[in-house]
A and B are shown apart, each in its own frame.
Chain A
Amino acid sequence: MTQQRKALALISGGLDSMLAARVVMEQGIHVEGVNFYTGFCVEGHTHAIRKRDRDKPKRNNALWVAEQLGIKLHIIDVTEPYKRVVINPKHGYGANLNPCLDCKCFMVGRAVEWIEAHGFDFIVTGEVIGQRPMSQRRDTMQVVVRESGVGDRLLRPLCAKNLPPTLPEREGWVDRERLYDFSGRSRKPQMALAERFGLSDYAQPAGGCCFLTDEAYSRRLADLWEARGEREYELDDIMLLKVGRHLRPRPHFKLIIGREEGENNFLEGYRRRFVHLRTVSHPGPLTLIDGELGPQDRELAARIVARFSGGREAAEVEVQLVDREGTEQRLRVAPMSVDEVKREWYL
Chain B
Amino acid sequence: MTRQLDARRLLCPLPVIRVQDRVREMKAGERLEVFCTDPGAASDIPAWCRINGHRVLELKEERGELRILIQVGEEGVR
For residue B57, CB closer than 8 A to chain A, the reply is no
Specify which of B11, B17, B39, B64 is in contact with A75 (CB 8 Å cutoff).
B17
What distance in Å separates the Cβ of B52 from its nearest Cβ neighbour in chain A? 6
Task: Give the complex CA separation of A77 and B14 in angstroms.
Answer: 8
Interface assignment of A48: CB less than 8 Å from any CB of chain B: yes
B13 touches A37 (CB 8 A): yes
Please provide the chain B residues from 2 to 35 with a CB less than 8 Å away from any CB of chain A in the complex.
9, 11-14, 16-17, 20
Q: List the B side residues contacting A49 at CB < 8 Å.
A: 11
Is the Cβ of A73 less than 8 Å from the Cβ of B51? yes
Q: A48-B39, A48-B40, A60-B40 are in contact. Are A75 and B47 (CB under 8 A)?
A: no
B51 lies within 8 A of A75 (CB): no
Majority SS at the chain B contact face: helix
Tell whether A41 is near chain B: CB-to-CB under 8 Å: yes
Which chain A residues border B52 with CB–CB below 8 Å?
72-73
> CB distance A63 to B16 under 8 Å?
yes
Residues in A neighbouring B9, C-beta threshold 8 A: 269
CA distance A41 to B14 in the complex (A): 11
Q: Which chain B residues lie closer than 8 Å to A54 at the CB level?
A: 39
* Docked-complex contact B77 and A44, CB < 8 angstroms: no
CA of A54 to CA of B40 in the docked complex: distance in angstroms?
Answer: 9
| Residue A137 CB within 8 A of the other chain | no
Inter-chain CA distance A74–B20, complex, in Å, is: 8
B51 and A60: CB pair below 8 A? no
- Binary per-residue interface labels of chain A (188-222) against chain B in the complex, 1 for a CB within 8 Å, 0 otherwise: 00000000000000000000000000000000000
- A59/B39 in contact, CB under 8 A: no
Q: Could you tell me the distance between the alpha carbons of A74 and B48 in the complex, rounded to whole angstroms? A: 9
Q: Could you tell me if B12 and A60 are in contact, using CB atoms closer than 8 angstroms?
A: yes
Would you call A71 an interface residue if the criterion is a C-beta within 8 Å of the partner chain's C-beta atoms?
yes
Cβ of B74 within 8 Å of any chain A Cβ, yes or no, is no
Which residues of chain B come closer than 8 Å to A265, judged between CB atoms?
A: 64
**CB-defined interface of A38-62 with B at 8 Å, one 1/0 digit per residue?**
0001011101110000100111101
In the bound complex, residues from chain B placing their C-beta under 8 Å from that of A47 are 40
Q: Mark A158-179, 1 if CB is under 8 A from B, else 0.
A: 0000000000000000000000
Q: Is there contact, CB below 8 Å, between B11 and A67?
A: no
A78 to B: closest C-beta gap in Å: 10
Contact B12 A75 (CB under 8 A): no
Which chain B residues lie closer than 8 Å to A67 at the CB level?
47, 50-51
Residues of A near B51 (CB, < 8 A) are: 63, 66-67, 71-73
Distance (whole angstroms) from the CB of B36 to the closest CB of chain A: 10
Q: A43–B13 Cα gap in the complex (Å)?
A: 8
Q: Does A346 contact B (CB under 8 A)?
A: no
**Complex contacts, A341 vs chain B, CB 8 Å:** none
Q: Contact mask B42-56 → A, CB, 8 Å, 1/0? A: 011001101110000
Q: Are A45 and B47 in contact (CB under 8 A)?
A: no
- If A59-B43, A59-B47, A64-B47 touch, whether A48 touches B16 (CB-CB below 8 Å) is no
Cα-based distance from A91 to B68 in the complex (angstroms)? 43
Smallest CB–CB gap between A86 and chain B, Å?
A: 18
Chain B residues, CB < 8 A from A62: 13
Let me know if A95 is at the binding interface, CB within 8 A.
no
Is the CB of A239 closer than 8 A to any CB of chain B?
yes
In this complex, what residue of B is CB-closest to A33? B51
Alpha-carbon distance between A239 and B9 when the two chains are bound, in angstroms: 12
In the complex, residue of chain B having the shortest beta-carbon distance to the beta carbon of A270: B9
25 contacts between A and B (CB under 8 A): A37-B13, A37-B14, A37-B17, A45-B12, A48-B11, A59-B40, A59-B43, A60-B44, A62-B13, A63-B16, A63-B44, A63-B47, A63-B48, A64-B47, A67-B47, A67-B51, A71-B51, A72-B77, A73-B48, A75-B13, A75-B17, A75-B20, A76-B17, A77-B14, A239-B11
Binding site for A on B (CB under 8 A): 9, 11-14, 16-17, 20, 38-40, 43-44, 47-48, 50-52, 64, 77
Which 3 A/B pairs are nearest by Cβ-Cβ distance? A44-B12, A44-B40, A63-B47
